[in-house]
A and B are shown apart, each in its own frame.
Chain A
């Protein structure tokens, strides 16, 4: 109440000071640029004042009691470009204003307003603008620009996102509300996601992930599509991108048709093709990529009810650096000691062995209805089919057959009820039923890496959001998950007794013997409990304090349980164990944020204690007929990961802006009192952007990124015997590559060469100084340098 009084006092004082005439009425009507339809509910703000209104059902708005003089009004609408109009008031005025659809601007608005997954969530967001810049790269590359997010790479095309050093099964990737199941357990299995399909990507570093699963030990990556306004409209965009490195690019197009009735339709497709990429000093032979992606979306959306049907298809054919295909540990030693890859050929678009060919189909149907005095009920059904084929150098008639051919099918049914009828409380509760089947395709003439299994899951969760007062809120949730996995796997009889399984799991033994192998039926049940707690306090207009706690439990993935054999591409024998138990993580995170365009920052320290952390580490050597191989075994230890992420933004002048971030992280293996394997090193980045809105929205930014050497690593180096020379050879697989420093330039400008729409032209340079470097988190770092300089030209046409 007294706020209102202050307002009136201010207005009075104001009107006394300015002895202007202040009885002018300013009216306006907002219509769609494309079809002249009225735009309902657009917010209208007179800048540098506290006067706000919004357009009514006819698109009209009105301000009364305005003073003479120049005013600037800002008009915002959920699906339109934000517009500023200057009006010189001398008398009562009417002004017609048109707004234009623009997807990326929409998302900028969405981001600047309160649109987190939960108020208390510690998270960061990638906008459509950034997604467009990364249109011909991977999800992992784009996320790498966020503090605390890094990636585990296999070459440059297989990029697995990592949050605070955790990846694979420890990250939930939520693709348009569907949890991705694409054999994410493997280090060299990147998410099968086309970055162009989305309007926005959120990275949840804190604990607000309970709705999606109990096992988000690392966090969650949530990709989203936006809602469309209830107007008759058709719009879209086409992006073409060309690159000098790899002589390839990408073309992406999307078209959206929306209706006033609430129906909408969206089609998106992208094609990507690259040949061999190039490091500064040599070609990276066989690193080409071919990718075809498409998505269809159809739905109906009103306030009361609606549905959304979504289908996406992703096909990736990814060449893997030829020089990384090695036979045994002596080949590895030779690769490590050789400064250049041992296999270099001229540039080619040809993708030869080794390569991966992956198809991913995803279908989602979601329907919701709002009930008066209750809330919103949503039911979602989704299906995914992931087929992964890996081709390797083979002999004879097996040449054209893959060495790995696995088909993973997942179906889930998720009813969810959001109760918002109680004051200050929002309750979210739901169920999950899921079935998953892994089907090794037979007739590949190679032993199966991941066995056949059926997995059944059921989960239930409840999350309560309590708004304590205007500035603070509390969030608490609990989730229970039941999962059962039933597998069929053949073990060598010698291994079955070596690992003591004959004593521990006699019930799995079927008694059927196939040559030297034993048929077994391992069956496991897991019960997981997870919780989350979040607190948010807004300290004043700009400052916010967030606190998150989460308990997450993760059952071992099939790779951790069942792996057993030579991983050809990695030249190592990987062994999982039936004795691996679930891991339990306690996560704490704090974030202090100042959200302000002129000067803002966030400081987010975190601490994770993970008991029974499952890791894959080298444990010894095995001599075989192919020579010696390092044995990597899954084992469980207690781990601790802590660190802090800093983000800063500062407006230097009206046209110059600075942003920077810094990530510090330390991971420890507490059981053995040594550093944790494969942890990202300290890294920071700085960016200075020049932006001139008046001159074709010209934007030029110079950015820099430094990744320091990881000096804390566990020493798993070993000696091996080279029989040809009859000498002991030292195998340095642990030492980390030196620090590196990369510069890049991004520039963009927007033109209006057509009657409608706009054209965005981007020119970017990556690795400006053509620096040769290797990254500790690239599995191919033993074999070749990372990419050299790349010139990129991108043209995006909005229509």
Chain B
């Protein structure tokens, strides 16, 4: 009988022990690694007023079911633009600039750009700490009038240096967005 009493005491104490931790309301974490928004800003090198802003906005990230909003862009034919990419987490207030983190860990990140259909050539103009391409800063030159798509991929821990092809570079994909682009 003594044993049974002891067991009962143990059981109750266990309940009490766990009950202590019950009242906290912060049992929900936010995804601090989230990237909700990709903004690709292109500035015409000869006309600083010709600024094209392409934006991919996915407010609930990859976990949520909301449909992303995608804004493409129209570029001038036979022109050169300087491009800057920016990654944001808009679930934070103010929005967190994730680009800073990517820049700091440049040696294990790389952006890849590819255009299909549109006469657009993109080259990376910045490098990481090991002098390998990074791709936050780009130079974009356009050819004759055309239209198509522009895809931006951010790889985490790709093989660096690589041949510029995201598939061959390996690593894991942190960002993969596609914009409609028109050259006119």
Contacts and interface: CB of A to CB of B under 8 A. Distances in A.
Interface of A: 307, 325-328, 330-331, 334, 342-343, 365, 367, 379, 381, 383, 393-396, 398, 409, 411, 413, 415, 433, 435, 437, 439-440, 442-448, 451-452, 454, 488-490, 492, 494-495, 498, 514-517, 519, 564-566, 573, 622-629, 723-726
Interface in B72-92: 91
Interface string B24-62: 001111111101111000000000000000001011111
Contacts of B161: none
B123 interface: no
Nearest to A342: B170
B146 interface: no
A723 B149 contact: yes
B15 to A, nearest CB: 6
Contacts of B22: 437, 454
Contact of B105 (A330, A396, A494): A396
Contacts of A326: 172-173
Contacts of A517: 28
A765 B122 CA distance: 55
Nearest to B114: A724
A20 B91 CA distance: 99
A376 to B, nearest CB: 14
A573 B175 CA distance: 16
A446 B31 contact: yes
B176 A723 contact: yes
B33 A492 contact: no
Contact of B63 (A411, A440, A489, A492): A492
Nearest to A568: B172
Given A437-B18, A454-B22, A494-B64, A381 B7 contact: yes
Nearest to A377: B4
Nearest to B21: A439
Contacts of A413: 7-8, 11
Nearest to B177: A625
B144 interface: no
A334 B158 CA distance: 14
Contacts of A452: 27-28
B65 interface: yes
B65 A498 contact: yes
19 contacts: A327-B156, A327-B176, A334-B167, A365-B7, A367-B7, A393-B172, A395-B98, A413-B7, A437-B22, A442-B26, A447-B29, A452-B28, A454-B22, A492-B65, A566-B63, A626-B62, A629-B62, A724-B153, A724-B166
Nearest to B167: A334
Please provide the 3 A-B residue pairs with the shortest distance between their CB atoms, ordered closest to farther. Answer: A327-B173, A627-B176, A445-B32
Which range holds the interface residue count of chain B?
Answer: 35 or more
B29 A395 contact: no
B126 interface: no
Nearest to B13: A411
B121 interface: no
Given A625-B38, A725-B116, A445 B31 contact: yes
A726 B116 CA distance: 7
B129 interface: no
Contacts of A415: 4
Contacts of B26: 442
B112 to A, nearest CB: 7
Given A492-B63, A573-B62, A723-B149, A440 B18 contact: no
A411 B29 contact: no
Given A330-B176, A447-B63, A451-B28, 5 more contacts: A395-B105, A447-B28, A452-B27, A494-B60, A723-B178
B62 A625 contact: yes
Nearest to B178: A723
A121 B137 CA distance: 70
Nearest to A565: B63
Contacts of B8: 413
Contact of A365 (B10, B59, B102): B10
B101 interface: yes
A435 B15 contact: yes
Contacts of A330: 167, 173, 176
Contact of A395 (B102, B176, B177): B102
Given A381-B10, A515-B91, A625 B68 contact: yes
A626 B116 contact: no
Given A492-B64, A494-B66, A307 B3 contact: yes
B128 interface: no
B63 A724 contact: no
Nearest to A437: B18
A650 B166 CA distance: 59
A489 B27 CA distance: 9
Nearest to B27: A452
A629 B173 CA distance: 11
B33 A394 contact: yes
Contacts of A381: 7, 10-11
Contact of B61 (A331, A625, A726): A625
Contacts of A725: 114, 116
B101 A396 contact: yes
Contacts of A454: 22
Contact of A442 (B15, B27, B149, B170): B27
B28 A395 contact: no
A327 B172 contact: yes
A447 B167 CA distance: 28
B3 A492 contact: no
Contacts of A435: 14-15, 18
Contacts of A343: 170
A633 B26 CA distance: 27
A619 B127 CA distance: 41
Contact of B30 (A393, A394, A447): A447
A411 B65 contact: no
B22 to A, nearest CB: 7
Given A625-B177, A724-B166, A398 B172 contact: no
B58 A726 contact: no
B101 A724 contact: no
A454 B21 CA distance: 11
Interface string B99-131: 001101100000010101100000000000000
Nearest to B15: A435
B132 interface: no
Given A395-B156, A492-B64, A446 B172 contact: no
